[in-house]
Amino acid sequence: MVKMDQFYLAISLFRRKNFEKCISVCNELLQANPQQKGPWELKMRAMTQRVYVDDIEAEDGVPESDDMDMNRLATAPRPGTTLRPETMAKNPQQLLINSRPRTLSGRPISGMSRPGTMSQRPGTSMKSRTALRTGGSRIDSARNIRLGSATMFALGDPGGALFQTSRLNPADFINKPLAKPLFQFLYYHDGDVRKALDLCKTIVDRRQGEVSWWWHTQIGRCYIALGNPRSAEKYLRDSLKKFSHVDTALLLARVYVKIDQPLAAIDILEDSLKKFPAEISLMTHQARILELMGNLQTSVRMHRQIATREPINSEALACIAVHHFYGNQPEMALLYYRRILSMGAHSCELFCNLGLCCLYGGQLDLVFPCFQRAIRLATTPEQRADTWYNLSFVALTSGDLNLARRCLRLCLSSDGSHGAALNNLAVISTQLGQFTKAKSYLTAAKAVLSNGEEVEQNIKLISKYA
């Protein structure tokens, strides 16, 4: 029986995404001969793919404050052209159009939990987390730096660090095909964004007109990771001029969201959709921005187009369901949630939403079974708190104040800073004539929900009795 060559075995393991065994085989080859470049490069690629995270959606949502930017001319943007919650809250027309509840950061409730939308909101939990989050924290690798060697290769230590990042000279990789995997290793595996940026800028400066669009995109990616979106804008636009790519357009749209120019982000996405009309990621990102701007009707229309092109898109289905629920159409919302359930998504939030739709749709025999499944699937304190809080509405609907109070107390046992539960306990205590206890609940709710209008109004009313 002929034994397979070890290097080809490592390549086969890499293609089958068995990165751990691939790295192990490369270590054996490097142990025999540390100067082999093939196993060294393959090991670097395998280590990168093992921890790779798609960071296109790493950050999403309300732009960061930029108090030191001296190039701004207008401090009060026109309504409908900003994502800042304090500006949107001052627009009475926006509040009139948007009856959907908002999170503590000011964004309208969406049907999916996405990066930047994880803040808990006061009110009914209508979140359907049916997809894995992307863009989480990168896995930090253990870097074992050997100070006695200046070589790149892992001489005598194939299982240790591939090279010393501090001694890496980017000029040595200008015309080498190893430059791209080296950048990915620095950015995704080591998390050394500045060294990766130095490599990109050195290649762009030395090659000048011959450089590929890919390097401009990576410079923009690095500037975004370093919190400098205005510098990233120039390189991403240069990249789009050289070659139109979906990832570049998404990164540039993300830049405009971070600097609070959502209309410019939508223009970039619309131009890209003309070139890639069937690209779901562009349509999804545009729908998210429209949702952040408060243009919920257009956002839902975009989600419907996504669901037509991709019927198993759980985010589009969940957002449409949320829109129907808050539009007093729980029966329609129930259809979309049941469709998500038939796709194999079983989560606490999904069953909680199904229970609420059954409650408001009149299918009372299915309410408690849905909430029982939700309680069994709840694994985090936030999930348990939201489930018990929503279950208290079922008790209030049936007129059982004692059951509602017990559900709210169980909610607070899971999350003691649940402001909506504290407020509702105060209301129930007032109905039972316990005004002193109600005032203490409202004081605690005020500490959590400093901008809660309901809490403020209840405090004014309770001051007449206690």
Kindly report, residue by residue over 350-400, the tens digit of the pLDDT.
999 999 999 999 898 999 999 999 999 999 999 999 999 999 989 998 888
Give a yes or no: residue 466 inside a domain: yes
CA 49 to chain centre: 21
Phi, psi of 102 (to 5 degrees): -125, 160
Give a yes or no: residue 417 inside a domain: yes
Query: Which region among 4-8, 76-80, 355-359 has the lowest average model confidence (pLDDT)?
Result: 76-80
Identify which has the larger pLDDT, 89 or 147. 89
- The CATH number of the domain where 403 resides is what? 1.25.40.10
Question: Measuring CA to CA, which residue among 347, 310, 317, 349 is closest to residue 333?
Answer: 317
Q: Which two structure tokens, joined as six digits, stand for 225?
A: 């990771």
Give a yes or no: residue 230 inside a domain: no
List, in sequence order, every residue forming a beta bridge with 108; answer none if it has no partner: 102
Give a yes or no: residue 125 inside a domain: no
Give a yes or no: residue 272 inside a domain: no
Look at the alpha carbons of 231, 232, 237, 242 in this order and tell me if their dihedral is positive or negative.
positive
Phi, psi of 108 (to 5 degrees): -70, 150
Of 50, 68, 84, which marks where a domain is finished? Answer: 50
**At 103, is the pLDDT very low, low, confident or very high (cuts 50, 70, 90)?**
low
pLDDT score of 219: 94
Mean pLDDT of 415-430: 90
Tell whether the model's pLDDT for residue 306 goes beyond 60. yes
* Number of domains the chain contains: 2
CB burial string 120-153: b at 16+ within 10 A, e below: bbbbbbbbbbbeeeebeebeeeeeeeeeebeebb
Give a yes or no: residue 89 inside a domain: no
pLDDT score of 370: 94
**At 54, is the pLDDT very low, low, confident or very high (cuts 50, 70, 90)?**
confident
Identify which has the larger pLDDT, 111 or 433. 433
Q: How far apart are CA 419 and CA 415, in angstroms?
A: 9
Of 29, 50, 71, which marks where a domain is finished? Answer: 50
CB neighbours of residue 299 within 10 Å: 23
Give a yes or no: residue 176 inside a domain: no
Above pLDDT 70, what percent of the chain?
A: 75
- Containing structural domain, residue 434: 378-466
Of 50, 72, 90, which marks where a domain is finished? Answer: 50
Give a yes or no: residue 238 inside a domain: no
Identify which has the larger pLDDT, 73 or 366. 366
Q: For 296, what's the count of Cα atoms within 13 Å in the CB-facing half-sphere?
A: 23
The mean pLDDT value of the chain amounts to 80
Q: How far apart are CA 214 and CA 251, in angstroms?
A: 13
